A and B are shown apart, each in its own frame.
Chain A
Amino acid sequence: MEPLITIEHVTYGYEERPVLDDVSLTIAQGDFILVIGPNGGGKTTLVKLILGIMTPWSGAIRLRGDVGRRLGYVPQFANFNRNFPISVFDMVLMGCLNAENYLRRYTHEDREKAGAILAKLGLYDRKGANITDLSGGQLQRVLIARALVSDPLALFLDEPTTSMDITSQSGLLELLTELQTRMSIVVVTHDPTPYAQTYRHIACLNRELHYHERGELDSLTLERVYGCPVELLGHGIPHTLLPGHGSAEERP
């Protein structure tokens, strides 16, 4: 089956300096991809290129015919105006906007869908609240609701657990696991541990991209990506993210 999204030899940078160099990646239906790498390694940039927020210098990003604009985006908090006076419900409704309908009123269907998604994410009783009054975890769920209201085929989340406590984190993971049956999921993160049980592929990104099937990542590759020795995380079953590396690395 044709992959959902195909990224071919994409290069992009700011001013003269490239932050992505000859990056290729395919995202298939039902994929759960973790994009990891050091800060400034181009993780967010890659997502923005896929979403069409920016255009690559060279290379191509191809979307399967039926994808169109059915891509959901959950940005980092720093990337939007958190002080904007808008209610939770109106914020979610904005996810329905596109180039054809933004001059018209929201339809009855839009409103019903926004309400249903808020109910599903446990935010229906907060729908009238102002987004400035929400906790980090609640705001994160509002952003996910906004992304889901357009029935995406792929969902992109940029550092979604940063401002979450442990309870909200496990709630998010449950939600992602459930969503994975209906859409591909791409999570950008500097901390892959919470996703240990759910992810299928890992893309290590530091200007160049290294792609790994589940369980094949080792410390040597990570060292190449981060540019320094990286200690792999091992919390024992069932939280082992990566395979073991012999007895020398075992923890007491």
Chain B
Amino acid sequence: MSGILSYEFMQNAIMIGIMASIVCGVIGPFVVARRMVFISGGLSHTAFGGLGIAYWLGIHPLFGATAFVLASAVLIARMEEKKLKQNDLFIGILWAVGVAIGIIFIHLTPGYAPDLMTFLFGNILTVPRTDVLITLLLVLIVTVAVLAFYRGFVAIALDEEYAQARRLPVASLKMGLMLLTAVSIVTLIQVVGILLVIALLTIPVAIASELSGNFRRIMLLSVLCGIITCLTGLLISYFIEFPSGASIILIGGVLLGLVRGVKRISARRKSPRPAEAR
């Protein structure tokens, strides 16, 4: 067991897994509370457009993805400010156009077709050391920002109008949360890929919400659930060569089912039906 820790790729994978879990716990509960799950799906898919252009230009794909996701986040936040009736329509279009741009530019890139599967489905075992360092920086930014603006973010997640009435800078807070979500998504794409990012933003939060009704505790528990699912998925991927992203998500799904099941059984024991009580 200790042998596998000596491989650099394994060290990188564990570090990325832990950092992704921190992001899950720090930003995920806000995404869920503000009903930004669909927006997150859209943001992660626009990353594909950035990846395509980065390949075509021959620059680091992570830069292309970051630029695209951040730009899309600004666009979505601006659209929300205009209070359009059908914001989801716009997000759906952005989602598809992002993917289309990626496909076209990858088609245009001459010669060797890059390993697209890695970006679509993620591969935690192949993340290079430089990406680990970039991710570390991104995770630090997200964590420090969320801790600093914690009360403001809770205020807009709980009651946006009240925050406005209290003269909090609601528009800036919303833009900030959107940008931090974008940065988080870039981190998570490396672990589970574009298609599965939504799962990492929601499953750990769903498990944590089953276990606690306190927002801070939900954040901490989400980090913990993230670490459990990421590292278990990583081991499965290493030992039986399953795809890592999908393994992580399925472990998360199973864990959620288990927690819900145990909760339901223990609730039934605590309050037996009248017939059994006699």
0/1 string, B157-200, CB within 8 A of A gives 1: 11111111111110000000000000000000000000000000
User: Does A52 make an interface contact (CB < 8 A)?
Assistant: yes
Query: A97 is contacted by which of B151, B160, B212 (Cβ under 8 Å)?
Result: B151
User: Does A87 make an interface contact (CB < 8 A)?
Assistant: yes
Question: Known interface pairs A79-B159, A94-B162. Does A103 touch B154 (Cβ–Cβ under 8 Å)?
Answer: no
List B112-140 residues whose CB lies under 8 Å from chain A.
none
Give Cα distance in the complex from A86 to B162, angstroms. Answer: 15
Chain B residues within an 8 Å CB radius of A150: 166
User: Does B76 make an interface contact (CB < 8 A)?
Assistant: no
User: Does B155 make an interface contact (CB < 8 A)?
Assistant: yes
Query: B154 is contacted by which of A73, A86, A130 (Cβ under 8 Å)?
Result: A86
Interface residues on B, range: 20 to 34
Q: 16 additional contacts, CB 8 Å, given A69-B167, A73-B161, A103-B152? A: A52-B164, A79-B159, A80-B159, A81-B159, A84-B157, A85-B218, A91-B158, A94-B154, A94-B155, A97-B151, A97-B168, A99-B168, A102-B155, A103-B149, A130-B214, A132-B213
B155 touches A97 (CB 8 A): yes
A75 touches B155 (CB 8 A): no
User: For chain B, what secondary structure do more than half of its interface residues adopt (helix, strand, loop), or is it mixed?
Assistant: helix
User: Does B267 make an interface contact (CB < 8 A)?
Assistant: no
Interface residues on A, range: 20 to 34
Query: B215 is contacted by which of A53, A86, A95 (Cβ under 8 Å)?
Result: A86
The 7 residue pairs across chains A and B that have the minimum distance between CB atoms = A80-B159, A130-B213, A51-B165, A53-B164, A99-B167, A84-B158, A73-B165
A102 touches B209 (CB 8 A): no
Chain A contacts to B: CB under 8 angstroms: 48, 51-53, 69, 71, 73, 75, 79-81, 83-87, 91, 94-95, 97-99, 102-103, 130, 132-133, 146, 150
A73 touches B215 (CB 8 A): no
User: For chain A, what secondary structure do more than half of its interface residues adopt (helix, strand, loop), or is it mixed?
Assistant: loop
With a 10 A CB-CB cut-off, give which of B149, B159, B213 has the most chain A CB atoms. Answer: B159
Chain B contacts to A: CB under 8 angstroms: 33, 148-149, 151-152, 154-155, 157-169, 209, 212-215, 218
Give Cα distance in the complex from A166 to B153, angstroms. Answer: 36
23 residue pairs from A and B, CB less than 8 Å apart: A52-B165, A69-B166, A71-B165, A75-B159, A75-B161, A80-B158, A80-B161, A80-B162, A84-B33, A85-B213, A85-B215, A86-B215, A87-B214, A97-B155, A97-B166, A98-B166, A99-B166, A99-B168, A102-B152, A103-B149, A103-B151, A130-B213, A133-B213
- Chain B residue with the shortest CB-CB distance to A128: B214
Give Cα distance in the complex from A129 to B168, angstroms. Answer: 26
Chain B residues within an 8 Å CB radius of A73: 161-162, 165
- Chain B residue with the shortest CB-CB distance to A93: B151
Chain A residues within an 8 Å CB radius of B214: 85-87, 130
